[in-house]
Amino acid sequence: MSTESHLRLIWLYPDLLSTYGDRGNLLILARRADLRGLPVECAEVRADHPVPADGDIYLIGGGEDGPQALAAQRLIEDRGLHRAVERGATIFAVCAGYQLMGHSFYAKGAKYPGLDLLDIDSNRGETRAVGELAGETHPALGLPALTGFENHGGRTTLGPGVKPLAKVTTGIGNDGQSEGAWNGRILGTYSHGPALARNPAIADLLLRWATGQNMEPIDDRWPTALRNERLSAIAK
């Protein structure tokens, strides 16, 4: 952890990439850190501000094509996120944020360069992927099933430098087969929701990556009820 042992959570570009309640992911992370007695500092960094390189966990959310392209351009020029990754920071990237971690993505019919932080490329899909998304998570992550909601036009191809977050059981994700990607401490997903409310084990994984500490179990009756409700609704 960084400054005076506070865990620094940085929500990037809420003014551009916050279409799907992405602030919820910040709240869940801060709450779950707090319940473990970890002091937390949260910062919301708008697109006209430099990206601080001293964060522990960076969150970047979903958005429409125009704001997504603008966010990519600013993050490429800024390089703060790249410096953070070189320091070993953790990143949780959702949908548009996930696509722009890769080498390239499409927005408004044109191809744009991404940040090259994940070995993925995103292309246009023939249809929009909208609806429930669920999958069996990669065994190395030690997570329960992924549940979420997706709404995107792009499709994502994974290169050899990443592993999928999950094998799709409902919905589309990257391509109807796999969903999301991760490498090192960077994890991307198409799951909105907000994703961490529906997948608290992912929040704990991010906290473990950022602190190097195992997270003690906490009372998860409510999120478990929510997860079970959604998973059984999908199964019907």
Would you say 151 or 183 has its CB closer to ligand GLN? 151
Of 6, 49, 95, 152, the active-site residue reads 95
Residue 95 known to be catalytic:
yes
Least spacing, CB of residue 163 vs ligand GLN, in Å: 21
Residue 116: both structure tokens together:
């090259």
CB of 62 to ligand GLN, least distance (A): 3
User: Which residues, 35 to 64, sit near ligand GLN by CB under 6 A?
Assistant: 62-64
Size of the site for ligand GLN (CB under 6 A): 13
User: Can you tell me the distance from the alpha carbon of 58 to that of 42, in angstroms, rounded to the nearest whole number?
Assistant: 10
Which of 42, 138, 152, 192 is flagged as catalytic? 192
Find the distance separating the first CA and the last CA of the chain, reported in whole Å.
44
**Number of Cβ within a 10 Å radius of residue 195:** 30
Give the per-residue contact string, 77-106, with ligand GLN (x = CB under 6 A; - = no). Answer: ------------------xx--x-------
CA distance 66 to 110: 11
The residue (of 99 and 211) whose beta carbon lies closer to ligand GLN is: 99
Q: Which of residues 118-177 bind ligand GLN (CB under 6 A)?
A: 151-154
Catalytic (active site) residue 138: no
Question: At its nearest, how many Å lie between ligand GLN and the CB of residue 99?
Answer: 6
Angle at the Cα of 162 (from 21 to 106), degrees rounded to 5?
55
Separation of alpha carbons 22 and 27, rounded Å = 9
Q: Applying CB under 6 A, does 68 fall inside the site for ligand GLN?
A: yes
Does residue 128 have a known ligand-binding role?
A: yes
Q: Are 122 and 102 in contact (CB under 8 A)?
A: yes
CA 151 to chain centre: 14
In whole angstroms, how far apart are CA 58 and each of 20, 38, 143, 158?
Answer: 17, 17, 20, 22
For residue 33 the two structure tokens come to 């850190």
Q: Kindly state the smallest distance separating residue 220's Cβ from ligand GLN, in Å.
A: 27
Binding-site ranges for ligand GLN (CB under 6 A): 62-65, 68, 95-96, 99, 107, 151-154
- Known binding-site residue numbers for substrate: 128
